[in-house]
Structure 1
Amino acid sequence: MCPQCHSRNLKLEGTEKKTEVELPPTPKPKATEYVQAIYGCEDCGAEVRATLPDGREPSEWGPLLRTEVVLGKVLDRLPYRKLRARLLRLGGKRLWMSTATLQGIVWRASERLAAEEEAIVRRLRASPWVHVDESIFRVAAKRWWLWVFVTETDVHFVIRPSRSRAVVHEVLGTDFQGKIVCDGWSAYLGWVLQRCWAHLLREGKEGAEKSPEARQLYGRLCALYHQLTRGLEKASLRERARRLRKGERALRGMLGRFGESEEEAVRHVVTYLRNGFSWWLTFLSHPKMDATNNRAERSLREVIVIRKIIGTLRKEEGANALTRLLSVLGTWALQGEDVPTRLASKLSRPS
């Protein structure tokens, strides 16, 4: 019927395709009852229980459901009460779980990934360079530190009560021969460094808002950074060496030009520049190394959101479980893996 005149005298003039996307009906949870044979060893008296055909012990919650719990808690950053509500929405009362049950699922999943975490640490220790950063994270209402160690293919988090170099030694080992891309924190002294240009330019920008002379210094820093990094991924080794010499001359020139300034804003930036003088240009000698520590800062950002949501972790065990899961799931994502499928596979295997 014509919506304008209500006529039924219609003539087909053509067709067009339209697509509508819809979710499938929510599947009901499937409960499977197993009869488990229990044997007694006649030699030593030990109890021996039969396993499922795939070699694992039957558990109250299946691996796909446990995967949903872990991903909801870690990747979706859901508090346990909201995670419980989500499961009830998916499967009704059959999926009701207490906070202790949900926490137990998350912690046991973390234990199953211990070998994956150890493999990540081994690869970090063998890497030619590692991005490292740290931020405050409270455990039992006390100030601890969240650390991240990241490369192109691996990320590793730890939460420790210390911000000292002991944490770097713990993760990378005392004989680490690679380079560290970092900010200016003293814990990294003793290794070959690449200081973060994003931090330097941030300091310069803050100074530029306070005085014309500091604005001039900031302009020179920005111009030099763009000259050194523009098209660098395609630059030959000779071109990199040329930029290295140019960068050294330019930085010395800035220290000479602004080093005697009496303006506080300028002196602050000059001190920051001078303290890291040996480490601003390391990236030019190592193809594919970044001039900034943005990779580590991006990795921290997601975990800082968790910190803002929960405020504090109650126990060190919870901190260790969280960081292991963040490390392994984050590494799989960096490597292009299907994270839910990979996790479900791990949780399906015999412990």
Structure 2
Amino acid sequence: MDLSGLNGSPGRLTSAIRPGDRTSLRQQNLALQAENAFLRQQFADQNDRIAELENRLKQYENPHTPSSKQGGAGNQQNSDSEQDDENEDAGSDSDAASDSSPGRNPGHEGTTQPPPDPDTTVRVGEAYCHDCGRVLTDPDEYVSRIIVDIPLPIPIEVTEYELGKQECSCGNEVLAEHPDCPETGRFGPHLLAQTALLRYHGRLPHRKQAELFDWQLDHPVSPGTIYNMTERVADRLRPAYEEIRASVRESDVIYCDETGFPVDGDQQWVWTFVTDEEVFYTIDESRGSQVLEDVLGDELAEDATLSCDGWSAYPSYHRKLQRCWAHLLREAKYVAERHEEAEVISEILHDLHEDLTAFDERDPPASARERRRAQASLCLEELVRADYESEEVTQLAEKIRNGLGCWLTFVTEPDVDSTNNRAEPALREQVVMRKVFGGLRSETGVRIHETLATMVATWEHRGLDPPDQLKSALGGTRPDSLREVSATELR
């Protein structure tokens, strides 16, 4: 279409377009509109897909992901060429052990455990010469080698208890008792103790324990029998478990955490409460503050401190908290690696925590602690007062703002840690058990699990020997075979 000679007037231009050209332009316009709608839909679909992939990526790259899992399943080691370059750059030091490598440090003299006294001596006089094939029977001397081994199957001891039965003058029928003869079942206290320890210290499933009975003891039992044995142990220890719950309630500082734990296919939660003397576990359907009320009472003492993460159940239950700095610093570092404007936040938080920790270690007086806490509080308020462009950085600032009254409790409370790291190892043990066992199947299993896990962890926390404590609780060394062993006596 030739537009030469037109003066640019809209009316003149419109009148110059022939009807056929208008039809063509309408068709082109409709085609462009259709293409635009398609591209808009494609753009929206791509945005949805990007959001989905980012959410999946957060499972592997977030501030709470262990370093061993960061990068996802595709995280590969250095290529062979890169590894060769590193070894070449390392020179003669490439074979040297790093500071974190296993084994003794260079220059450290090794020690060998002295051999035990032999129970029997076997003298071997004949020797065979592998060069000429002769058999030599007159040794010049004997070389001693002490070998430690166990017989298989491991010998078991079967004891019959004949318990006197008689009628008391009051009319009651009385049966004599012996501390090594359990009231239920035919397995003694040593075997019951080992079964419980293999489950809750060795993390061995019931089926695997049944196999050990067959292989090592030559005494076949079913997995159900193993389960019943652990139930008897848990019943025996339940009073001590409740005493630990009561002791936790009276503590001045309690470190809390929780994680998912399946029960009969449904999601439930295992909670841990750690003090200076106790490690307490409970499993509940709820992740809310009601669990805190069940364990710690309707109201915790006002001067008691709960150390926790940012889960909303804790501030709903108690006012005096210590929010975990390990979580905060890890998240700040993660966000700073993704957004430049968060680098200053991360640096200030790390420096502040390091400075406050050093200050706390000097054990200053209470007045100095109050002044230092006020200064640190102003620093945190300055961080959250600024405006940030990135949504992720804004969320980090909001997290700091939400915990402003709880980040600095440790500064004025000398017995409180700045992190919740005391609860983390206790909870990590439950995560490992969840992966090994796959969860629990019944309320009875829940009661067994929380009871035995609590008692074993508490004994270890106190520096006691779990096998000795279990044997003491189940029989043999009980001071009085007619009454329960309390948690105090088990210390």
Q: Does 1:101 align with 2:228?
A: no
Q: Does 1:191 align with 2:315?
A: no
Q: Does 1:156 align with 2:283?
A: no
Aligned AA for 2:348? R
- Equivalent residue, structure 2, for 1:4: none
- Equivalent residue, structure 2, for 1:217: 345
Matches of 1:161 and 1:50, distance apart in 2: 43
Cα 1:173/1:267, change in 2 over 3 Å: same
Unaligned 5+ runs, structure 2: 1-143, 485-491
Select which of 172, 176, 187 maps to 1:50. 176
Aligned AA for 1:88? D
- Equivalent residue, structure 2, for 1:172: 296
Query: SS at 1:144's partner residue?
Result: strand
Is the Cα–Cα contact under 8 Å of residues 51 and 58 in structure 1 kept in the other structure?
A: no
Select which of 22, 28, 33 maps to 2:148. 22
Mapping for residues 121-132 of structure 1, pairs under 5 Å: 121-132=245-256
Aligned AA for 1:63? P
Q: Does 1:336 align with 2:460?
A: no
Query: SS at 2:218's partner residue?
Result: helix
Higher relative contact order (CA 8 A, sep 6+): 1
* Residue 47 of structure 1: how far off its partner (Å): 4.7
Cα 1:321/1:53, change in 2 over 3 Å: closer
- Equivalent residue, structure 1, for 2:413: 286
- Equivalent residue, structure 2, for 1:134: 258
Pick which of 339-348 and 208-217 moved more: 208-217
* Residue 84 of structure 1: how far off its partner (Å): 1.7
* Residue 20 of structure 1: how far off its partner (Å): 7.1
Cα 1:205/1:23, change in 2 over 3 Å: farther
- Equivalent residue, structure 1, for 2:363: 235
Query: SS at 1:78's partner residue?
Result: coil
* Residue 317 of structure 1: how far off its partner (Å): 1.4
Residues 284-332 of structure 1, C-alpha deviation per residue, up to 9 Å, x if partnerless? Answer: 1111211111111111001111111122210011111111111111111
Residues 163-220 of structure 1, C-alpha deviation per residue, up to 9 Å, x if partnerless? Answer: 1111001111112111110111111113210011111112212211221111221121
Matches of 2:372 and 2:150, distance apart in 1: 57
Question: What number of residue pairs does the alignment pair up?
Answer: 334
Cα 1:71/1:55, change in 2 over 3 Å: closer
Query: SS at 1:104's partner residue?
Result: helix
Matches of 1:210 and 1:19, distance apart in 2: 62
* Residue 54 of structure 1: how far off its partner (Å): 6.6
* Residue 23 of structure 1: how far off its partner (Å): 4.2
Query: SS at 1:31's partner residue?
Result: coil
Matches of 2:147 and 2:353, distance apart in 1: 47
Q: Does 1:317 align with 2:441?
A: no
Matches of 1:88 and 1:107, distance apart in 2: 21
Q: Does 1:84 align with 2:210?
A: yes
- Equivalent residue, structure 1, for 2:354: 226
Is the Cα–Cα contact under 8 Å of residues 165 and 188 in structure 1 kept in the other structure?
A: yes
* Residue 233 of structure 1: how far off its partner (Å): 2.8
Matches of 1:242 and 1:192, distance apart in 2: 19
Mapping for residues 66-77 of structure 1, pairs under 5 Å: 66-77=192-203
Cα 1:304/1:53, change in 2 over 3 Å: closer
Matches of 2:451 and 2:382, distance apart in 1: 46
Q: Does 1:298 align with 2:422?
A: no
Query: SS at 2:355's partner residue?
Result: helix
Matches of 1:250 and 1:269, distance apart in 2: 15
TM-score by length of 2: 0.63
Q: Does 1:116 align with 2:245?
A: no
TM-score by length of 1: 0.87
Cα 1:66/1:155, change in 2 over 3 Å: same
* Residue 39 of structure 1: how far off its partner (Å): 3.9
Is the Cα–Cα contact under 8 Å of residues 209 and 223 in structure 2 kept in the other structure?
A: no
Matches of 2:409 and 2:419, distance apart in 1: 11
Cα-Cα RMSD: 2.7
Is the Cα–Cα contact under 8 Å of residues 179 and 193 in structure 1 kept in the other structure?
A: yes
Residues 204-246 of structure 1, C-alpha deviation per residue, up to 9 Å, x if partnerless? Answer: 1221122111122112111111111126233212553343133
Mapping for residues 267-278 of structure 1, pairs under 5 Å: 267-278=394-405
Matches of 1:133 and 1:53, distance apart in 2: 38
Matches of 1:176 and 1:150, distance apart in 2: 15
- Equivalent residue, structure 1, for 2:388: 261
* Residue 253 of structure 1: how far off its partner (Å): 2.1
